[in-house]
Structure 1
Amino acid sequence: MSETTSAEKTLLESVPTKLLIGGSWVDGSEGETIDVEDPATGEVLLTIASASPKDGQAALDAACSVQESWARTAPRERAEILRKAFDLLQERADDFALLMTLEMGKPLAEARGEVAYGGEFLRWFSEEAARISGRYATAPDGKTRLMVAKRPVGPCLLITPWNFPLAMATRKIAPAIAAGCTMVLKPATLTPLTSLLFADLLREAGLPDGVLNVITTKSASKVTGPLLEDSRLRKLSFTGSTEVGQGLIAASAKRVLRTSMELGGNAPFLVFEDADLDKAVEGALLAKMRNMGEACTAANRFIVHESVADEFSEKFAKKLASLTPARGTEEKSTLGPLIDADSREKVKELVEDAVSRGANVVTGGKPVDGPGYFFEPTLLSGVPAEARVLSEEIFGPVAPVITFSTEEEAVNLANAADYGLVCYAFTKDLNRALRMGERLETGMLGINAGVVSNPAAPFGGVKMSGIGREGGFEGIEEYLSTQYIGFSDPWADEARA
């Protein structure tokens, strides 16, 4: 096992370990705690407070108590807070990258990339805060005047996943701040440390007490359930599995909450016969192995034209085999561990199921011996249609390859899933690329690109991949409500005179 370095110890000592409620760091009311582990070693990094339902209620009380005053805060003031937070994050980029590597496992290079990506949401929405606008118009009959205004939705419950601890927090918190909403944030139990440190950074940036409240808890449903039933809560934003999202949507229906749901994915990666195969392989490596495959945007099914399938698989397998599984803080690491033992076991089961049905292991195929939850980068060929690995979200470093012969077949295979978050397509034919945009059932499409996420673009899916969009011009609309105000004819008195 790797020993914790002095730099790591110093960083961990700077991370808040309590709940943030109304501007103060407080212990959980029932004294329960959560051990946060390093998935590369299994060792405990920190022990933090675990919120009770009473603490969750206190957090919502704090958010509601300042909602009206925060909504009246000048847009420029909200923008400056976000910009200050962006600047502070750049100054402390190495600390946040290291912390994410420690609690989530991703290599430092990837963690630094997430700091840059997550920070851009702060900068983007700092610019959007001052651009919230409405409209004024004369009614078609000329008798009345129409004014349309945008107002903050109100207190929000934000639930973030464990796989991108910083970016998923900034992608929700930044537009809420820009719009004038207060928040209760519940980070994932597996990776809460980054959110706690980021909340402290926002306080330093000048965010008023109570605007952001953070509750870490190992009893998520017991804590968030009562909040969803509280008449003061106005919005729920959740990123996570479709199964959990479905339950939250059902719970939100009782009070007809505004909801934003970024749920599961089963991304197809299409390689047509005319594709630049070297570029396709590089794109495949990014789309599959970013974050060890633990991403909703990860390519899940590689659908390759039969004429180039062997060459693509051979080149892709070599790239995968060249990756080095190691603790993310080690210089040699190009592949971190999976988040926990259960996740590794699921990946192992999916591979074994595919092999039992006739799939071939081209490279990898099994867990890595030693401490931590590592799994070999794996490529499977000849995967039969009934294999679970084609229908279930893998969330691991496994690439199943299947073939097609016609464009129609490729589209049908891609659209066969219940999910529609992102697709990738590699082709030199511009017309085909345009056809893919019109035919593939997806919220996002990468053409000759293995990464599509961008803070300036709307992120979200269709079908069972979710509701709503995060990022882009659309992102702030999720935190705004539309109000129409009708005025009587301003010329009526003149007509009577």
Structure 2
Amino acid sequence: MAWTPERCNDKEASVSETSVVESVDKDLFIGGKWVPAAGGRTFGVEDPATGEVLCQVADATPQDGMAALDAAVAAQQEWAATAPRERSEILRRAYELLNARNEDLALLMTLEMGKPLAEARGEISYAAEFFRWFAEEAVRIDGGYQTAPNGAGRFLVTKQPVGPTLLITPWNFPMAMGGRKIGPAIAAGCTMVIKPAAQTPLSMLALAAILAEAGLPAGVLNVVTTSDAGGVMEPLIRDGRARKLSFTGSTAVGRKLLEQCADKVLRTSMELGGNAPFLVFDDADLDAAIEGAMQAKMRNIGEACTAANRFYVQRGIADEFARRLTERMEALPLGRGTEPGVVVGPLIDNAAVEKVKTLVQDAADRGANVLTGGATVDGPGHFYQATVLTGVPLDARMASEEIFGPVAPISVFDTEEEAVAAANDTEYGLVSYVYTNDLKRALRVSETLEAGMIGLNQGIVSNPAAPFGGVKQSGLGREGGAVGIDEFLEIKYIAVAL
């Protein structure tokens, strides 16, 4: 299958693409100023749909990273003393600016990451909601007053900012993951050094400019873009002045970061890998299950830690489920994310395509049947066909590894116990999906599944007002919801003698 980009057929679109990239400052954002990297170093940002380099951005050195931490440390005391209402209003203005500029920001994200424009627009709105949510949480940081059990004193409990924080965000949701970390940090009164993924730095640079426009003081948010993530961030972690690290990314990298954080006993939040099971029982609403399967699998072209990675379908409906899912997947338009109607955009890079290709081939070699797709796409960019597999054995690599692509592997089960056992047979525990119309089964299975989040008869769980996070090797802590701000606060107890 071949694909030819149509970008040159629409002069107006091309001009718009150029202008939206040019509108973003490509330098580092340190202490409220845009500054070049030491030595003028830069690296290229690629459009994954074409393989073309969109632009060059500053490539920070360890020296630049330390300058960013210096700025965050210098701003911490004054920022922590800022009135909660003032922090709230900055967040609210950022929310409004993000929504007002949704179209340009969505196009920028599609160009650097590849997701279709419709999904990019949705992500900008989703990111904005984190700023609105934490604008409301900023003025609700509470404490406590308690009489000592012996009556001789009082206990005062207060919450204070944890201090300067280090934030590391992934490429797959470059704006939303920034919002999910920056929002609560601002609300709590923490300064930040944030390192976006090298593949998608432009969205974060645009967000930094918006926050500055919203009134965020100099030094509160510092952005370092770099092609040397470990070389720049490890010295900051081991420095000791930063007091928290929040990371979203792979479990393998998360383990290394935890080891580094142990040196100075940094507080950590980790949202790591997933291997989400999608369970469909024979009493489920099949229409709803198919719709949920498409949402859980194809959001972000399958490049999401919450993506359904393993489909377990009860034998009585397995053939019908596979047939209908195949029809839906076959009908998805593939192409550059800027093209009208496209649903399947490119994967982030060639390594991602090769991984998906290898996992599909492994499953096929072990006896799985390819109902649709199962191949790369000729032409520019990093594309892989929407794919459905049946008869995927439990020892296939994709049963234990994140696919991170548009591939739906289906296995059959007979009993509830068998389904739950297969679902839990993984080191990960981020999210699980369950489709059933039996209330008792719904509650029983939801409570038994080893996951931090459950999608019960729905294929999307993410919501800024809900706690997001996993168990086992899918992470530590929670982002979003009423508990999200607590990750950036320390509890202080003051004993008072009367």
TM-score normalised according to structure 1 size: 0.98
Q: Match for 1:444 among 440, 443, 453?
A: 453
Aligned: 1:183 with 2:192: yes
Aligned: 1:282 with 2:291: yes
Is structure 2 residue 494 aligned with structure 1 residue 485? yes
Partner residue in 1 for 2:37: 28
Matched letter for residue 272 of structure 2: L
Report the CA distance between 1:31 and its aligned residue: 2.0
Alignment match of 1:343 (pick from 329, 338, 352): 352
Selected match of 1:53 from 33, 55, 62: 62
Q: Which runs of 5+ in 1 are unaligned?
A: 490-497
- Counterpart residue number, 1:395: 404
One-letter identity of the residue aligned with 1:219: D
Q: Which moved more, 1:26-35 or 1:340-349?
A: 26-35
Give the Cα–Cα distance (whole angstroms) in 2 for the partners of residues 314 and 240 of structure 1: 34
In the alignment, the residues of structure 2 paired with residue 385 and residue 269 of structure 1 have an alpha-carbon distance, to the nearest angstrom, of 14
Asked whether the 8 Å contact 2:273–2:430 carries over to 1, the reply is: yes
SS of 2:264 mapped into structure 1: coil
Contact 2:434 2:446 in 1 (8 A): no
Give the equivalent residue in structure 2 for 1:266: 275
One-letter identity of the residue aligned with 2:388: L
Task: Answer yes or no: is the 8 Å Cα contact 1:124–1:456 preserved in 2.
Answer: yes
Distance apart, 1:91 and its partner CA: 0.7
Does 2:293 correspond to 1:251?
no
Secondary structure of 2:239 counterpart: coil
1:135-175: CA deviations, max 9, x gaps? 01101111110000000000000000000010000000000
CA distance in 1, matches of 2:435, 2:102: 34
Alignment match, 1:152: 161
In the TM superposition, what is the alpha-carbon distance from 1:390 to its structure 2 partner? Answer: 0.7
Distance 1:101 1:12 in 2: 11
Per-residue deviation, 1:129: 0.1
Give the equivalent residue in structure 2 for 1:92. Answer: 101
Cα distance between partner residues in 2 of 1:431 and 1:117: 33
- Correspondences of 1:444-483 after superposition (within 5 Å): 444-483=453-492
Paired residues, what number? Answer: 489
CA distances 1:173-218 after superposition (whole Å, capped 9, x unpaired): 0000000000000000000000000100000000000000000000
Task: Provide the C-alpha distance between the structure 1 equivalents of 2:445 and 2:89, rounded to a whole number of angstroms.
Answer: 41
Q: Distance in 2 between matches of 1:405 and 1:117?
A: 38
- Could you give the per-residue CA deviations for residues 18-48 of structure 1, whole angstroms, max 9, x where no partner exists? 0000010000013221100100000111100
Distance across 2 between alignment mates of 1:316 and 1:189: 35
> What one-letter code is carried by the residue in structure 1 that aligns with 2:178?
A
| Paired residues of 2:45 and 2:55 also in contact (CA < 8 A) | yes
CA distance in structure 2 between the aligned counterparts of 1:17 and 1:44, rounded to whole angstroms = 14
In 1, Cα distance between the equivalents of 2:494 and 2:70?
Answer: 30
Q: Deviations over 1:443-472 (max 9, x none)?
A: 000111000000000000000000000000
Match of 1:419, SS?
coil
Taking only aligned residues, the RMSD between alpha carbons, in angstroms, comes to: 0.7
1:12 to 1, 13, 21: 21
Corresponding position: 1:197 with 2:206: yes
Structure 1 residue 10: Cα displacement: 1.2
Shift of 1:49: 0.5
Q: Which residue of 2 aligns with 1:134?
A: 143
1:400 aligns to what SS in structure 2? strand
Equivalence for 1:223: 232
Consecutive unaligned residues in structure 2, runs of 5 or more: none
Once residues 240 and 265 of structure 2 are traced to their aligned partners in structure 1, the CA distance between those partners, rounded to angstroms, is 10
Letter matched to residue 441 of structure 1:
E
Counterpart secondary structure, 1:169:
helix
Superposed CA offset, 1:54-111 (max 9, x none):
0000000000001000000000000000000001111101011111111000101101
What is the deviation of 1:437? 2.0
Structure 1 letter corresponding to 2:114 = G
CA shift, 1:328, in A, is 0.5
- 3-state DSSP class of the match of 1:147? strand
CA distance in 1 between partners of 2:24 and 2:401 (Å): 36
What is the one-letter code of the residue matched to 1:465? S
Distance 2:111 2:382 in 1: 13
Within the alignment, does 1:80 sit opposite 2:89 as a pair?
yes
CA distance in structure 2 between the partners assigned to 1:225 and 1:234 by the alignment? 14
The one-letter amino acid of 2:337's match is: G
Q: Distance in 2 between matches of 1:94 and 1:105?
A: 15
* AA of the residue aligned to 2:38: S
Matched, 1:164 2:159: no
Shift of 1:332: 3.0
Aligned equivalents of 2:199 and 2:123: distance in 1? 17
Cα deviation for residue 477 of structure 1 reads 0.2
Distance 2:401 2:152 in 1: 57
Where does residue 117 of structure 2 map in the other structure? 108
Aligned with residue 419 of structure 1, among 420, 428, 453: 428
Q: Which residue of 2 aligns with 1:62?
A: 71
Q: Which runs of 4+ in 1 moved over 4 A?
A: none
The separation in 2 between residues aligned to 1:106 and 1:166, in whole angstroms, is 13
Q: What is residue 495 of structure 1 aligned with on the other side?
A: none
Q: Distance in 2 between matches of 1:124 and 1:436?
A: 31
Match in the other structure for 2:395: 386
Give me the whole-angstrom Cα distance separating, in 1, the residues matched to 2:156 and 2:480. Answer: 27
Asked if the contact 1:161/1:240 (under 8 Å) is kept, the reply is yes
Distance, in Å, in 1 between the alignment partners of 2:461 and 2:333 is 25
| Aligned residue identity for 2:251 | T
Does structure 2 conserve the Cα–Cα contact (< 8 Å) formed by 1:83 and 1:123?
Answer: yes
Summarize deviations over 1:314-346 as a string: whole Å, max 9, x none.
Answer: 000000000011101100311110000000000
Asked if structure 2 preserves the Cα contact closer than 8 Å seen for 1:326 and 1:332, the reply is: no
Deviation of residue 370 (structure 1)? 1.1
**Kept after mapping to 2: 8 A contact 1:156/1:237:** yes
Q: Which residue of 2 aligns with 1:309?
A: 318
Q: Any idea what the Cα deviations from partners look like across 1:373-427, whole Å, max 9, x if unmatched?
A: 1100000001111110111000000011001101010110110011000000000
**1:493 aligned partner:** none
TM-score scaled by length of structure 2: 0.98
CA distance in 1, matches of 2:277, 2:39: 46
SS in 2 for 1:308: helix
Alignment of 1:286-297 (within 5 A): 286-297=295-306
Give the structure 1 partner of residue 415 of structure 2: 406
1:239 is aligned to: 248
Q: Any conservation in 1 of the 2:243–2:267 contact (CA below 8 Å)?
A: yes
Indicate the SS of the match to 2:241: coil
Determine helix, strand or coil for the equivalent of 2:167. strand
Question: What letter is aligned with 1:407?
Answer: E
